[in-house]
Structure 1
Amino acid sequence: MSQATELEAPQAPRTRKQRQAAAIAEAASGHVGWMLLKIGLLAIVDAIALYAAFVLYTASEWVVLGVVVVVAILVNWIYFSRRHVPAKYLTPGVIFLILFQVFTLLYTGYIGFTNYGTGHNGSKDQAVASLMRSAQERVADSPTYGVTVVEKLGALGLLVTDPEDGDVWVGTDEQPLQKVQGAGMDGDRAVSVDGWTSLSFADVISRSDEVEKLSIPFSDDPNDGTIRTPDGRSGYRYVSTLEYDTAAGTMTDTKTGTVYRDTGVGAFTAENGEQLLPGWQITVGFDNFLRAVTDASIRGPLISVTIWTFVFALISVASTFFLGLLLALVFNNTRMRFRNGYRILLILPYAFPAFLSALVWAGMMNESFGFLNQVFFGGASIPWLTDPTLAKVSVLIVNLWLGFPYMFLVCMGALQGIPSDVNEAAEMDGANPWQIFRSIKLPLLLVTVAPLLISSFAFNFNNFNLIYMLTNGGPRFDDVSIPVGHTDILISMVYKVAFTGQTRDYGLASAFTILIFIVVAAISIISFRKTKALEELN
């Protein structure tokens, strides 16, 4: 009786230390391997974040540095906490979504409102430094400075010794010369200094191209010139023939006397309109969008390319869908023999990489030695890819070859999902096969296929691989300021504006990208709203 009473007696509440000990014991009894894996992965993340923070700190990117630090702290707090279990699963996806989607969209939109491109890809200070370096000439009576090539965190610099008073400075292309103390000397030339690694003679020879390009600013004032070395041992002073007036914001050519002013266009401009390049990046508002519709040399090809993009996307979707549907109807017939083998053959174009197929077709359609001209047309010289009209037809033919297997598979699955009793009921009511297809199968098919047709339109609207691999957008338009051709679609035109030619206009290309996004999004929204009417048939 006494034992039962003792067992039934309530236990005394545990103290705080006892609860902590129990929690530690419970954690220790868990999966130690998973805990070590989590710690290892977080250590890698923290190491990457620490390296990024150091780089951003040296580059004075304070906003991005703050974001990196906050995200790193938040990730550690989430994964070391015993709570917030849903956040542990959502955090990686949210970070990658923001990094690769949201940030990309926002940054592209920002670039569309700037003049970013060839000659305008840096800050004003960088443009001033570049201009003055490009116009440098060696001072005739420059003393010979003893120099040693040094390196710190991957950046080359010069350790400079003044031949007159023996003072020692060190600097890089980005950091002006700064006086140092305690440098190691070899005669009257400094050869080492704390915090820097001195390059050996063999290293200097192997990196001679980099060494010859070194131009170390004498001071924060660009008019004071730079120190340059031809051999890594002797340095000379160079001064620019351009003189920069910081207060007035002007750049003066001391040889001709021409004054170039900052007129707000992102470059120093003379009274006659002549500009000094490189300039610098500025915000231009809607100028890129206005230039796209007002500049005749851009507006003409833009209109032609836009019309062809819609035609290409619509015909591609319609042709691949109807051919795929036709083949699905044929091979869905149970009376056909060897239909599984035929199905495998039909999906072969879909199984090969699209860019390889486009390259093969480009060779087959070659005007001089292509398989089509030599075999099918008896040696004829048909300009499949060089005539504007035939090139467009060729693109549509190749895209039909690449796209119909996908539609065939989709339609085959949708047809097999239609209940057989629906067809039997229609046959009992006296409907013929065409009426069954038009009034029953096609509407039910569109319930499943309509969203895929919309996504297929969006894909073909941006089908860069086919255009680039088959025709590279050619044949090219004449008398236009951007390198585009008759078979270019909007996305390939954006690529050429941004990455080909002598001048690369990232701002204009980003403006085109925003327009493409708006068009595709509007069409998709309208189409999805319209297709809701088909859901009533389901």
Structure 2
Amino acid sequence: MQLSVAHTTPPRLPQNKKWWRSAMFTRSLLGLVAVLNGYLIVQMYAQREYLFAMLTLLLAGTGIYLFASRKAYSWRYVYPGLVGMGLFVLFPLFCTIGIAFTNYSAVHQLSFERAQSVILDRQFQSGNTLNFTLLGSDGHWQLQLQDSETNQTLLSAPFALDNQPQRLNMVPKTADTGATKAPLKVITQNRQALGQLTAVMPDGSELVMSSLRQFSAIKPLYTLQEDDRGLRNNQTGELYQPNDEMGFYQAVDAKGEWIADTRMSPGYTVTIGWDNFLRVLQDKGIQQPFIKIFIWTVLFAGLTVMFTLAVGMVLACLVQWQPLKGKAMYRLLLILPYAVPGFISILIFKGLFNQSFGEINMLLEQMFGLKPEWFTNPMLAKAMILIVNVWLGYPYMMILCMGLLKAIPDDLYEASALDGATPLQNFFRITLPLLIKPLTPLLIACFAFNFNNFVLIQLLTNGGPNMLGTSTPAGNTDLLVSYTYRIAFEGSGGQDFGLAAAIATLIFLLVGALAILNLKASKLSVEQ
């Protein structure tokens, strides 16, 4: 009888998972994230930042669901990229477009509720002013008021200066307490705490500190009306109503009509529709410089791409020329402008082009008797900007062309040599066509970059020389992006963020349209 032995595979022991991959750790981490975001959302809601609270709730809730659910496993890899694009691309874009439809500016930064609260906090002196003396030391103080009209001295009970609101009942002083008078230095050091004191007089009136030596009766300057919008001036009796077309409180007469030149600061933000865009199209003081700056921006970006490509390609062909000796040294020297930080090169060129002490003008004056006004003549200023930008940009094009030249087969040049072609013919019939196609996307990116080349304009000319007869700050060398910046931060009538946002929106549409046209053109050239 033969026995058969069954061979069984021993059971596999479960492998120990890493602690950071365990389900318990994942749930604890998600719970901690949920608690932190919940706290932030409550704080935002308490500060009346409803938009940010809702946005945080949406992003945090979606993220927690994706990382906690097995069904949405694949989305957890896409979610960070989508959040980044939403926060850093779409959200600023939508905010800019939203501001473009408002009067948001330096004088209209607050909401209506906040502006009303600031105005209601204003006070005025409504009664007698009494000289005060602070008596005591070591945390035990007494307030003494001297009425010069009645020659009466009032004294409070001892108190401590602890930066807390306190009401002090003033009673007539009957005897000398022997307390020492605090010097002005002590009053200055405790000014904030003294400002929290309210002296209650025997007749019931209240006085607060109005200067380093006086207490005065102060009342609110404005009183809120029954409609919770109107404000009554307690000194003059004038009635102020919110003018939602202008974003200011403005006085009204008995007929309810607006009284001119009575706007009250601060203003508040209101929606004004398409007014900012219509200003760009209809206001001559904005329309004319906008059109000129737009044309110059397109020319600047286009000429920069053309010149940097031409210089970079020619230099790349020269350093790749086989009979040339010392190629490595020439390459190093020609790439140096790309290695130096751009802002340093710009500031150096600003000194070189100085009209009075710059080396370039000194050299031109000695050789040709010329002394160009680089910073005051519009055409020379534009030429200077192009020269500097080509210097900064050609190394990038040269490096690209050097790499692409390596990919061109030598057989093409050998065949052309047999046909008797000259080097110039080789360049225009072989080298240039084979380089342009792969360079086209990079040229489009270079055009878009120079369309918004804010740093060069800001550091070199700051947009100058300025245009005359404009209602907004504008210069002959301004690009649209620097023009927008000057409107937003250098406006003489107040920083007009709404108008700047409208122009930024137009820039976005223009750059997008030009990019689409360039992409279509490049697609057609590649197909051909």
Q: Cα deviation per residue 1:148-184 (whole Å; 9 max; x = unaligned)?
A: 665xxxxxxx5344749xxxxxxxxxxxxxxxxxxxx
Shift of 1:269: 3.3
Shift of 1:337: 0.9
Letter of the 2:8 counterpart: L
Q: 1:110 aligns with which of 91, 95, 98?
A: 98
Instruction: Measure, in 2, the Cα distance between the counterparts of 1:115 and 1:323.
Output: 46
1:131-530 superposed matches below 5 A: 131-134=119-122, 136-140=123-127, 158-161=164-167, 163=169, 238-247=218-227, 249-256=229-236, 258-265=238-245, 266-270=247-251, 271-274=258-261, 275-378=263-366, 381-502=371-492, 503-530=494-521
Q: Cα deviation per residue 1:423-466 (whole Å; 9 max; x = unaligned)?
A: 33344455443333323322221111111111111111100000
Instruction: Measure, in 1, the Cα distance between the counterparts of 2:209 and 2:412.
Output: 87
Letter of the 2:248 counterpart: A
Shift of 1:121: 0.9
Shift of 1:489: 0.8
> Which residue of structure 1 lines up, in the alignment, with residue 88 of structure 2?
100
Letter of the 2:517 counterpart: I
Shift of 1:355: 1.1
Instruction: Measure, in 2, the Cα distance between the counterparts of 1:43 and 1:348.
Output: 53
Could you tell me whether the CA contact under 8 Å between 1:115 and 1:281 is conserved in 2? yes
> Which residue of structure 1 lines up, in the alignment, with residue 146 of structure 2?
none
Q: Within the alignment, does 1:53 sit opposite 2:41 as a pair?
A: yes
Instruction: Measure, in 2, the Cα distance between the counterparts of 1:384 and 1:5.
Output: 98
Could you tell me whether the CA contact under 8 Å between 2:107 and 2:268 is conserved in 1? yes
CA RMSD of aligned residues (A): 3.9
Q: Cα deviation per residue 1:226-280 (whole Å; 9 max; x = unaligned)?
A: 9975689x99764344444352843444555554433321112343432222211
Shift of 1:483: 2.1
Instruction: Measure, in 2, the Cα distance between the counterparts of 1:65 and 1:292.
Output: 34
Q: Within the alignment, does 1:30 sit opposite 2:11 as a pair?
A: no
Instruction: Measure, in 1, the Cα distance between the counterparts of 2:103 and 2:160.
Output: 40
Distance change (3 Å), C-alpha of 1:61 and 1:248: closer
Q: 2:55 aligns with which of 48, 55, 67?
A: 67
Could you tell me whether the CA contact under 8 Å between 2:161 and 2:193 is conserved in 1? no
Shift of 1:359: 0.9
Could you tell me whether the CA contact under 8 Å between 2:484 and 2:500 is conserved in 1? yes
SS in 1 for 2:513: helix
Q: Cα deviation per residue 1:276-317 (whole Å; 9 max; x = unaligned)?
A: 222111111110000112122222222222222112111111
Name which of structure 1's ranges 442-451 and 374-383 shifts more when overlaid on structure 2. 374-383
SS in 1 for 2:465: coil
Name which of structure 1's ranges 453-462 and 239-248 shifts more when overlaid on structure 2. 239-248
Shift of 1:52: 2.3
Shift of 1:492: 0.6
Instruction: Measure, in 1, the Cα distance between the counterparts of 2:43 and 2:194.
Output: 23
1:117-136 superposed matches below 5 A: 117-134=105-122, 136=123
Letter of the 2:274 counterpart: F
Could you tell me whether the CA contact under 8 Å between 2:166 and 2:197 is conserved in 1? no
Could you tell me whether the CA contact under 8 Å between 1:365 and 1:372 is conserved in 2? yes
Shift of 1:471: 0.8
Unaligned runs of 5+ in 1: 12-21, 151-157, 165-201, 217-225
Instruction: Measure, in 1, the Cα distance between the counterparts of 2:194 and 2:77.
Output: 50
Letter of the 2:94 counterpart: L
Size of the alignment, in residue pairs? Answer: 468
Could you tell me whether the CA contact under 8 Å between 1:148 and 1:159 is conserved in 2? no
SS in 2 for 1:478: coil
Distance change (3 Å), C-alpha of 1:299 and 1:227: farther
SS in 2 for 1:418: coil
Shift of 1:420: 2.1
Distance change (3 Å), C-alpha of 1:106 and 1:244: same
Could you tell me whether the CA contact under 8 Å between 2:208 and 2:218 is conserved in 1? yes
Letter of the 1:509 counterpart: A
Distance change (3 Å), C-alpha of 1:254 and 1:396: same
Q: Aligned residues: percent identity?
A: 33
Distance change (3 Å), C-alpha of 1:388 and 1:89: same
Instruction: Measure, in 1, the Cα distance between the counterparts of 2:337 and 2:100.
Output: 38
Could you tell me whether the CA contact under 8 Å between 2:99 and 2:498 is conserved in 1? yes
Could you tell me whether the CA contact under 8 Å between 2:404 and 2:435 is conserved in 1? yes
Shift of 1:3: 6.9
Could you tell me whether the CA contact under 8 Å between 1:147 and 1:159 is conserved in 2? no
Distance change (3 Å), C-alpha of 1:429 and 1:373: closer
Instruction: Measure, in 2, the Cα distance between the counterparts of 1:312 and 1:122.
Output: 38
Name which of structure 1's ranges 442-451 and 521-530 shifts more when overlaid on structure 2. 442-451
> Which residue of structure 2 lines up, in the alignment, with residue 192 of structure 1?
none
TM-score (norm: length of structure 1)? 0.76
Instruction: Measure, in 2, the Cα distance between the counterparts of 1:445 and 1:409.
Output: 12
Distance change (3 Å), C-alpha of 1:468 and 1:37: farther
Letter of the 1:7 counterpart: T
SS in 2 for 1:140: strand
Name which of structure 1's ranges 78-87 and 280-289 shifts more when overlaid on structure 2. 78-87
Shift of 1:105: 0.8
Instruction: Measure, in 2, the Cα distance between the counterparts of 1:509 and 1:207.
Output: 45
